[in-house]
Chains A and B, each alone.
Chain A
Amino acid sequence: MNSASSFQQKIDTLMLQRKRRKLFNFLLWSLTFFLILKTTVLLWGKVFFPLSGFFISYPVPFLLALGLAWLIHRLFRKDLSTELLSLDSRMGLNDRISTAFEYLTPDKKSLLKEKLLEDAAKIMGGLPQNKILPWPFSPAYLLLPAFLFLQLLIPRWDLPHPGFTGKNEAGQLARIGKFMAEFTREKMQNQDKTESPSGGEPYRELQALAEDLEDQSLTRKELVQTLGEMKKKVREERSRMSRNLMNDLNAGQASDKDSPASQTPTPSSPQALDRLTEKLKDLFEGHLPESLTKDLSRLRENFELEKFLDQALGMTFVPGTQDNNDALLTMEEKGHSRGSESGEGKNSPATGLAEPPSGRWDQEGGPGDSKNGRGKDGRRKEEGQGPPRPGGEGNFTAGTAKGSGEKLTPSELKPGKGSLSQERGLPSGTAPSPSLGVRSQPLFGKTEEIREQNLKGVPFSTRREKESALRQEKIPREYREVIKNYFLSIKEDKGIKPHEQSR
């Protein structure tokens, strides 16, 4: 074997090892980039919103990782001459190997070529393989385990949202405070001009709250709780006003089907209030009594206030922080229940967002949301249990208890305490998973069974969505009376008087 072929053989071996090394590096970087991208997707899901779907989780990161690894490979690739040059420098070979490699081609001629190749082959033969092609440090060696660790850690780790960290939270509260201050300033000015029927008490409370927020003397939790209490009070106030209004309208005409009260629904929304106002204007031929106008105005103001409180509460929620928002929602509910405990028992709505009952107002008060928490069934109302539960605490058995007698559209199902259930298998002290309680009351047939379903593990967003959908579901206005009268006529045909049916 002459010196040229001997050196050529050494170079061939080196090239083969380089190819293997390149392939290894390509796979290493591909895996590293895949893990980085996967971790990014996971983090995105934690911080913003989850990117679900198999395609997003695997094929897209995989292809991107391959592309990035190929890019790295192209950007940092070194040809063999460069590597031999670095070998010469590294091992102090005085450019022997790189020069010999260059003179391996037949077009380079020299008397000393043979001697040069022989010398280079001899030197390469004497070098250990790890010296000829050492394993250089690659950032992938650090990135790979780091992102592998993150990949395993992130699903078990609830990342705090930046919105919850000190300075951001303070800024958020300050913004809410400013928002409140602007609202109250406007309302107070209007009050000065028009002499608001509410007396301005809630606005003064809001103003004080805004000042507290500006002074940063109020935490987010306290704010949510206070707003929840205020919202509850506003609702109670509206219930009271609505009841009074209906009492006024029904005065002396309780049994008269054609009385204004019997023909007008209790306003459960500003739109409903507008419709009621229109209807009353028709009934009174465009000249509403002053007292009635005042009542309606107070109701409208009440709706506006509740809307504002909803907006303020909405501002306290930080998107993407499901668990924290759930916690705050609980606190808002706590605010409601505190209001309930102080005012009308324990029949607070399950979510704090349910609409008050509407329909034909019972003179004795609507069940579950009646005056002082009492419905027709005085005992149950005192207990604040809402609808009848003959089967015991938290159980409802079809046909074994009297119906409430209310004629409700599905959207107007009254709020009530949901069935109590214990999530089995949870260790003591573990917070229950988010759930959604769905209650349904049949409108047709004889059964009065109220069905309840407690959906476990429902995310907060889904819960909000469902509640919103339930709130918005309406029976078209023009069909309501027809449907109601149809069922009333059925009852009357069977000898049951309408007022008895309400039992």
Chain B
Amino acid sequence: MNRVDEQVDRIKKTLEKIQTELSRVVVGQEELIRQIFICLLCGGHALIEGVPGLGKTLLVKSLGRILHLKYSRIQFTPDLMPADILGTNIVNQDDSGNRFFEFYRGPIFGQLILADEINRATPKTQSALLEAMQEQAVTVFGKKYILEPPFMVLATQNPLEMEGTYPLPEAQIDRFFFKLKIDYPTPQQLLRIIDKTTENEPDPLIQVVGAEAILEMRSLVREVPVADHIKDYAVKMIMATHPGDKNGASRVKQYVRYGSSPRGVQTLILAAKVLALLKDRFNVSREDIREVAKPALRHRLILNLRGEAEGLDPDAIIDEIIQSLS
């Protein structure tokens, strides 16, 4: 087995290990774990949305323990300030009595960041993440600090609670690679949840993969071949999310105010590449693009007033777009 084969094999095995390890504390959610893993290998961030109590925070916290990465948790509250996230300069004094500014790093200086209930902070604070998420760097008092790779933000938010929350600005949302939804567990899963959480304490989780391996896997993912017609397909899909597109689906014209940004097409291709490797393929197919379309595009479709009023699910629009392209 040559090195390429080993690397491809390692990707699959890593996912299996993560899923196995997480299954000790999290019941079900295999698909969610897989999508988070895709995000990780693509160098993206994920926004996990679900009603309270479904294990969002537990999942991310457990992931932080499994991955051999610096884990930070930021609990977003309305009084949270940007400096609380990024860090700040404080006045310090050396042995000779000279005073100087010393930068105290905030929780953003980790590798795996849990931004819990991100929509509870004000937009001003939410915006503190913009630079970090896009450029893996922060600028404080004019000085730029590079964040240690691999850097990944996993944010959670509650879709039901509107009181005291601040919807994420579009620029912020667009920086999330995937928007993932946690489904309510099935009765069988609930039974398993009872067993896992009300009986014996689970064994401590073991770390399965480190930063170096993740970075290697990331570089391999970018080598997956993509044919031109697949790229065309992804572009068509992105264009079809815009209401002005002549081939756009009828629901897009009716309910969408603004379609996906170019980050959408990058997301489609990168995520499809990981998916192809996970499926033992060395090329991206249209099926891969279709499979990652919902998590990649659902938060990038900005609905108009009518769409918002009718509570339209963007997934239904994406389904129609996929249908129109086939």
Contact = CB atoms under 8 A, between A and B. Distances in A.
Contacts of B287: 94
B282 A116 contact: yes
Contacts of B190: none
A99 B220 contact: no
Given A99-B226, A99-B227, A112-B225, A94 B281 contact: yes
Interface in B256-298: 279, 281-288
Nearest to A111: B223
B283 A99 contact: yes
Contacts of B224: 110, 112
Contacts of A108: 225
Given A99-B230, A108-B225, A112-B225, A94 B283 contact: yes
Most buried by B among A110, A112, A119: A112
A99 B283 CA distance: 7
A100 B227 CA distance: 8
A46 to B, nearest CB: 50
B228 interface: yes
Given A95-B230, A98-B229, A112 B4 contact: yes
Contacts of B226: 99
A471 interface: no
Interface in B219-238: 220, 223-230
B284 A95 contact: yes
Interface residues of A, number: 20
Interface string A362-404: 0000000000000000000000000000000000000000000
Interface residues of B, number: 21
Contacts of A110: 223-225
Interface in A78-121: 81, 85, 88, 94-96, 98-100, 102-103, 108, 110-116, 119
Contact of A116 (B5, B225, B229, B286): B225
B227 A98 contact: yes
Contacts of B229: 81, 85, 95, 98
A96 B4 contact: no
Nearest to B230: A95
Contact of A112 (B227, B230, B282): B282
Contact of B225 (A88, A94, A99): A99
Nearest to A113: B225
B5, B220, B223, B227 interface centre (most CB from chain A within 10 Å): B227
Interface string A115-157: 1100100000000000000000000000000000000000000
B284 A99 contact: yes
A81 B225 CA distance: 16
A119 B282 contact: yes
Contacts of A115: 4-5, 8, 282
Contacts of A81: 229
A2 to B, nearest CB: 13
Contacts of B283: 94-96, 99-100, 116
B202 to A, nearest CB: 38
Contacts of A96: 281, 283, 285
Contacts of B286: 95
Contact of A103 (B225, B279, B281, B288): B225
Nearest to A82: B229
A110 B229 CA distance: 17
Interface in B89-136: none
Nearest to A92: B287
B14 to A, nearest CB: 18
A112 B226 CA distance: 11
A95 B285 contact: yes
A102 B285 CA distance: 13
A117 to B, nearest CB: 9
Contacts of A112: 4, 8, 220, 223-225, 282
A102 B227 contact: yes
A85 B233 CA distance: 13
Given A94-B283, A95-B286, A111-B4, A102 B223 contact: no
A265 B148 CA distance: 130
A119 B281 contact: yes
A110 B224 CA distance: 7
A115 B225 CA distance: 10
B110 to A, nearest CB: 30
A113 B282 CA distance: 8
B306 to A, nearest CB: 36
A98 B286 CA distance: 12
A100 to B, nearest CB: 7
Interface in B300-314: none
A111 B285 contact: no
A111 to B, nearest CB: 4
Contacts of B285: 88, 94-96, 99
A120 to B, nearest CB: 8
A116 B286 CA distance: 16
Contacts of A111: 4, 220, 223
A85 B279 CA distance: 20
28 contacts: A81-B229, A85-B229, A94-B281, A94-B283, A94-B285, A95-B227, A95-B229, A95-B284, A95-B285, A96-B281, A96-B285, A98-B227, A99-B225, A99-B226, A99-B227, A99-B283, A99-B284, A99-B285, A102-B227, A103-B225, A111-B4, A112-B4, A112-B8, A112-B220, A112-B223, A114-B4, A116-B283, A119-B281
Pairs of residues from A and B, 8 with the lowest C-beta to C-beta distance, nearest first: A94-B285, A99-B283, A99-B227, A111-B223, A116-B282, A95-B285, A112-B282, A115-B282
Interface of B: 4-5, 8, 220, 223-230, 279, 281-288
Interface of A: 81, 85, 88, 94-96, 98-100, 102-103, 108, 110-116, 119
